[in-house]
Structure 1
Amino acid sequence: MKVTEKNGHEYRVIGTRPIRHDGVDKVTGRAQFGADVRLPGMLYGQVVRSPYPHARIKSIDTRRAQEHPGVRAIITAADMPALDTDAVAELGEGAIELKYASQLIMARDKVVYQGQPVAAVAATTRQAARDAARLIEVEYEPLPVVEDALAAMDPGAPLIHADLYTVTPGGGKAEQPSNVAKHIQYERGDLEAGFAEADVVIEREFRTAMVHQGYIEPQNATASWEADGRLTVWTSTQGAFSAREQLAQLLQIPAGRIRVIPMEVGGGFGGKIQVYLEPIAALLSRKAGRPVKMWMSRAEVFTGTGPGSPTYIRCKLGAKRSGALVAAQLYMVYDAGAFPGAPVGAGAVTALSPYRVPNFRIDGYDVVTNKPRVQSYRAPGAPQAAFAVETVLDEIAESLGMDPVELRLKNASAEGDRLVYGTPFNRIGFREVLEAVRDHPHYNAPLPERRGPYAFGRGVAAGFWFGGSLTSTVQLTFNPDGTVNLITGSVDLSGSRASLAMIVAEELGLEPHEVKPIVADTDTVGYTDVTGGSRTTYATGTACWRACQDAIAQLKVRAAQLLEADPDAVTFGGGEFWLWEEPQYRISLKEVVANLQKTGGPIVAKGIVNKLKMAPAFGAHIVDVGVDLETGKVDIVRYTAVQDVGKAIHPTAVEGQLQGGAAQGIGWALFEGYVFDGGVMRNPNFLDYRLPTALDLPMIDTVLVEVPASDGPYGVRGVGETPIVPPIAAVANAIARATGVRIRELPMSPERVWRALGGADQPASDDQAGETG
């Protein structure tokens, strides 16, 4: 289903559903992923990882491994530049201090999470590398483990980093070291007066688990460090330029001597921005004098890369009997894992900004623990925040006897309302989204009657993501047959090639198949930021549009030569140039391109974007669940995702984004979570780490609301982040409506639901323990 705001524009290509340009290669196996790289003389690398979550490295003995006949190189932290600087590496989506980024690659004096690399070996075969890695002897002195973020905040907790001092809201630093890396604060109005004015006040606590992005393809890298000092890296990354900059900083070599070739990516969702194997493969290659290829096992992916942040959130909301929100207070603790950098800032901003709240205070904390250092995961920080706020909103609606959608409509932010940090929203479609939910047949359909122990409930929740810009570069070149090469630095994670090609086809009057999109390496195209943060179609799409305007301007001059007219007399539209005063004199773009050599030679058009207005995307989800009151098992019976997409360039791709985000959010709500025992992960595989499958999900219906953004081509908004924000809270609210019991800790597994329903008097097992009710 599609709800479209009438904006007076008619498009020829935009809004259609052409076959994806990468479709044939993907289904026939021709697409080249990182694991497909083969180079002459290639070696294979293997990392030695710490089995301890916190320990001092007393010694590393590589002598037995060096004697292995297949070994060609071994490295430890001694082979990496010592980076004790406080300089920050910007990842494009998130950031990390260089000294910590270096320790993610190779531990120095101690390890601070299970799976942290301590050494690596390159050998002639993969098996030889594995065998040699087992011969490296590392002596550890185990140290006390801090697994829980709240426990880590205790002044008496063991310090993970002796030189970590809390950055305070004013920008200063605490006098004593602690495990709290940063304290942020947003406030407005008079909090005490606001709560005093409220007729209903509800305060609740929420916990979310550490979760993995769930991509199928493991991290991989192949590096060739040539004798002339040039380094080439093939890798499955969300950002080739981000990878290049990280390599330059970590290895202390000029970025101009590094070429990163992005391969196809088998899933990322924010988890393939930080480099892990790339610097190791590079150092092994330099030492061995031969290319080195590496890839992770599934267990290494779970323990050695960056998952989504676990959280503790205390949420207090106050409202009038009319439903108007008058006060809010949030205490948000985001677990960063072993090094600072949890997405608490994004969580704090997205938590309350969807609603007009005159009085609030938000305190957020970035806390380190002995777990893998977290990375971005699709709308990083926002799903956890929405879980808390949207659940308490639902309770307020219940308390007031008010429809939950009407409560949200009454308080919904609109254009001109301010985010928590003070910046006003430009044009947004939150109200239109909520109205679409209110009027949708799903929301108004009766629920099935209870069948024995099987009860049904319906939940709703909303959320948003900022819609980023950053930098994108695009080039267009023209072939004699009139087709166009679209050269971009944006890695294609989810079919963005097709959307970008459609923009070029729309502007130049071509068919989508006449535009050939090419994802280029760092030596071929200008700087382009990562694919992430819902920025690619918005920002790189704008760069495509600008490149088209540049191309049209250049081709207009060539068309004027062929029409024997002044360029100022020539106009363009629908794939043709003509004289605006004498429209009978016209020539097609393809004819102009075919004559480029006669009129001055080839042309290259470019489009560059490095700052656009924020284009926030709002969504709201409806879910029906069935709960077995005897076992606690929750089934998703019906699901509808509604979102303001600005303008759907390729509706099929947009619908897929909404469905994928909803599926991931459902997994987060019901199944997923790292299970730790003393800092050691107990479920580092897809057998024990439960992901949702097709058997767990119904068909996810989508509604595309089109409220054009203030900037960018055609009013398009990024769509990839928002769909994962509402599902957790929507499922929690549906369970509460079905059972009368609220679950405030994730995952809402059968055991946890069963216990909340009074299924047993004994406490939950360690991996399910948590306060509910």
Structure 2
Amino acid sequence: FDVRGAVTEILEIDVSRVKVTPLEIGGGFGGKIPIYLEPIASILSKKSGFKPVKLVMERTNVFQASGPAPGGTISVKMGTDKNGKIIAAESIIKLEAGGYPGSAIGAAVQCIFAPYDIPNARIDGHDVVVNKPRSFAYRAPGSPQAAFAAETVADELAKIHGMDPIEFRLLNAAKEGTRRADGVIFPKVGNIEVLEAAKASPHWKSPIGTPPKGRVRGRGLASGYWFNIGMKSTVNLQVNTDGTVALIEGSTDIGGTRTSIAMQAAEILGIGVENFRPVVGDTETAGYADVTGGSRTTYATGYAAIKAAENLITVLKERCAILWSIDEKDVDFNDGTFFATKDPELKLSFKELASKIGDTGGPAASSGSVDLESGGGAFGTHIVDIDVDLETGKTDVTRYTAIQDAGTAIYPAYVKGQIAGGAVQGIGWALNEEYYMSDDGSMANTSYLDYRIPTSLDLPNIETIIVEVPNPGHPFGVRGVGEVPICPPIGAIGNALHDAVGKRFYDAPMKPGRILNVLGKIEK
């Protein structure tokens, strides 16, 4: 729907004249939110007599045009009392917007001190226009950079006070009732529960071990936060005569959300999720849904599915009343079964009723819509062990554990996949990934031969621990999951490097050359 809106504005035509059909697009992470070639393809199609037109962005085009996460500089100052309680904090955040205003400065400001209960805070944010390609949203935009800065300082303060880094964070942890630096007061959140789970984890309690000859080993920890969003979503349900339910929604699936949305409707209807046929419709068949992003889909579109299921129960009660020739108010529903409150002999399972729908007035369908303000913020804490080769500066991640509050984990396998995937992307930020910019503002490393991302050969299995502190703003307690796990890794690896080599790292990526430079073995 966002694509439809953008295309209609550029082409200056009515929204009803554009139909957008979603496809299986793999991961999103922000870069697929805006449009690129769609208006051009539309114009070429019209000029050619409305023939199909296909345009493809080569990898170089994707790198140069789709927008990197913003680079920048962040300064952080924190002050504590003698017991280690943070009493004040200040940050100046400057993020590159590229050629046009619009970096992720707002999100960075919201996230930077969010894991901590700080009574006095000041944050100055600067959206800096530079002669480079514009930056854009990339999984928790602005938060990983902010967490790197804040968690480096928090780690240093813990060492100054001689405190365990988790105990320092527990002492200063944001919780229900904490006022975030930008003014928002937290509802029920799981920050403390995540830290306690990290403290009790097998990884944290295990000895760090001895590294191979020529290497040093370090362990680091960091926390991160993402606020999650709500916005608008719609879900439509229709009962088939075989007892299955067609579910049509408009949130593009980039990670398994069709299943997590259907599971919530199934829970309300008291039937198995295998009875659902979820599809993502086009802009003419699905109800309106805002962007798939901001960790909103399972939360917001799932909420719409809950409402649609509740409305469907009302519709089906009416059909039961027709079948049984009784008043609708005398029909009730529980755990997949409709029954008459005044006659225990009158009852039908969902599937039995579905087979009789045709005799009660035609197909049974319903719709549910929501417009939500927020998605319930979430916290994560990551623990990492690394080995550093002191001759080459090469860093290997030997063990990694990601702990996160998922609210209620509707689809645990999906949650674990999101957490592990986000952690891997964050590890890439920490150790390898960067844009090399030439003097004229163009990107020099526009292929995966030169832009280094982690592969399965570079990493251990990512251990995940799901903490469930239900979100009070959702009927099932769902929180957004997808963005939190990319926030802690840069800070965790930076702190692990300090533990390994005794030096602080203030720039990412912490690649071999930069490590050797900090160690004084090479010059910049």
TM superposition score normalised by structure 1: 0.67
Of 20, 23, 42, the match for 1:263:
23
Q: Are 2:519 and 1:749 equivalent residues in the alignment?
A: no
- The equivalent of 1:408 in structure 2 is 169
Of 481, 485, 493, the match for 1:723:
485
1:487 is displaced (CA, Å) by 0.3
Of 389, 395, 403, the match for 1:634:
395
- Distance of 1:716 and 1:594 partners within structure 2: 33
- 8 A contact 1:541–1:713 mirrored in 2: no
- The equivalent of 2:124 in structure 1 is 363
- The equivalent of 1:735 in structure 2 is 497
For 1:711, give the aligned amino acid.
Answer: G
- Distance of 2:23 and 2:486 partners within structure 1: 26
Question: Quick check: 685-694 or 423-432, which moved more?
Answer: 423-432
- Distance of 1:251 and 1:304 partners within structure 2: 20
1:328 is displaced (CA, Å) by 1.0
Q: Identify unmatched segments of 5+ residues in structure 1.
A: 1-240, 765-773
- 8 A contact 1:538–1:713 mirrored in 2: no
Q: Deviations over 1:180-203 (max 9, x none)?
A: xxxxxxxxxxxxxxxxxxxxxxxx
- Distance of 1:614 and 1:489 partners within structure 2: 18
Larger radius of gyration: 1
Of 689, 698, 702, the match for 2:464:
702
- Distance of 2:168 and 2:342 partners within structure 1: 57
Structure 1 residues 613 and 375: CA distance shift in structure 2, 3 A: closer
For 1:754, give the aligned amino acid.
Answer: L
- The equivalent of 1:686 in structure 2 is 448
1:338 is displaced (CA, Å) by 1.1
Q: Are 2:216 and 1:455 equivalent residues in the alignment?
A: yes
- The equivalent of 1:286 in structure 2 is 46
- Distance of 2:338 and 2:27 partners within structure 1: 42
For 1:753, give the aligned amino acid.
Answer: I
- Distance of 2:352 and 2:114 partners within structure 1: 52
Secondary structure at 1:292 match in 2: coil
1:582 is displaced (CA, Å) by 4.0
Question: Quick check: 540-549 or 569-578, which moved more?
Answer: 569-578
1:248 is displaced (CA, Å) by 1.2
Secondary structure at 1:681 match in 2: coil
1:560 is displaced (CA, Å) by 2.2
Question: Quick check: 537-546 or 585-594, which moved more?
Answer: 585-594
For 1:243, give the aligned amino acid.
Answer: V
For 1:406, give the aligned amino acid.
Answer: E
For 1:696, give the aligned amino acid.
Answer: D
Q: Deviations over 1:477-524 (max 9, x none)?
A: 111101000000000000111111111222212222210001011111
- The equivalent of 1:769 in structure 2 is none
Secondary structure at 2:231 match in 1: coil
- The equivalent of 1:427 in structure 2 is 188
Secondary structure at 2:366 match in 1: strand
- The equivalent of 1:316 in structure 2 is 77
In the TM superposition, 1:530-541 aligns within 5 A as 530-541=291-302
Aligned residues: 522
1:401 is displaced (CA, Å) by 0.6
Q: Deviations over 1:207-238 (max 9, x none)?
A: xxxxxxxxxxxxxxxxxxxxxxxxxxxxxxxx
- Distance of 1:480 and 1:723 partners within structure 2: 42
- 8 A contact 1:539–1:612 mirrored in 2: no
Secondary structure at 2:403 match in 1: strand
- 8 A contact 2:4–2:19 mirrored in 1: yes
In the TM superposition, 1:76-475 aligns within 5 A as 241-289=1-49, 290-475=51-236
- 8 A contact 1:485–1:517 mirrored in 2: yes
For 2:465, give the aligned amino acid.
Answer: V
- 8 A contact 1:458–1:734 mirrored in 2: yes
- Distance of 1:646 and 1:421 partners within structure 2: 23
1:405 is displaced (CA, Å) by 0.7
Secondary structure at 1:332 match in 2: strand
1:444 is displaced (CA, Å) by 1.2
- Distance of 2:401 and 2:344 partners within structure 1: 49
- The equivalent of 1:110 in structure 2 is none
1:321 is displaced (CA, Å) by 2.1
Question: Quick check: 671-680 or 658-667, which moved more?
Answer: 671-680
Moved over 4 A (4+): none
- Distance of 2:219 and 2:345 partners within structure 1: 62
- 8 A contact 1:314–1:388 mirrored in 2: yes
1:612 is displaced (CA, Å) by 4.5
TM superposition score normalised by structure 2: 0.98
- 8 A contact 1:541–1:712 mirrored in 2: no
1:683 is displaced (CA, Å) by 0.6
- 8 A contact 1:613–1:710 mirrored in 2: no
Of 247, 252, 262, the match for 1:486:
247
- Distance of 2:308 and 2:348 partners within structure 1: 21
Overall identity of the aligned pairs, in % = 50
- 8 A contact 1:412–1:430 mirrored in 2: yes
For 2:335, give the aligned amino acid.
Answer: G
- 8 A contact 1:612–1:712 mirrored in 2: no
- 8 A contact 2:250–2:289 mirrored in 1: yes
For 1:351, give the aligned amino acid.
Answer: I
Ranked by relative contact order (alpha carbons within 8 Å, sequence separation 6 or more), the top structure is 2
- 8 A contact 1:460–1:622 mirrored in 2: yes
- Distance of 1:585 and 1:285 partners within structure 2: 59
- 8 A contact 2:109–2:182 mirrored in 1: no
- Distance of 1:270 and 1:535 partners within structure 2: 13
- Distance of 1:581 and 1:701 partners within structure 2: 54
Q: Are 2:315 and 1:526 equivalent residues in the alignment?
A: no
Secondary structure at 1:334 match in 2: strand
- Distance of 2:493 and 2:343 partners within structure 1: 63
Of 356, 360, 363, the match for 1:595:
356
- Distance of 2:365 and 2:240 partners within structure 1: 11
Secondary structure at 1:516 match in 2: strand
1:449 is displaced (CA, Å) by 2.2
Q: Deviations over 1:342-385 (max 9, x none)?
A: 00010011001221111121111101112111111011100000
Secondary structure at 2:384 match in 1: strand
Q: Identify unmatched segments of 5+ residues in structure 2.
A: none
- Distance of 1:588 and 1:307 partners within structure 2: 52
For 1:424, give the aligned amino acid.
Answer: I
Structure 1 residues 650 and 565: CA distance shift in structure 2, 3 A: same
1:613 is displaced (CA, Å) by 4.5
- The equivalent of 2:307 in structure 1 is 546
- Distance of 2:212 and 2:264 partners within structure 1: 51
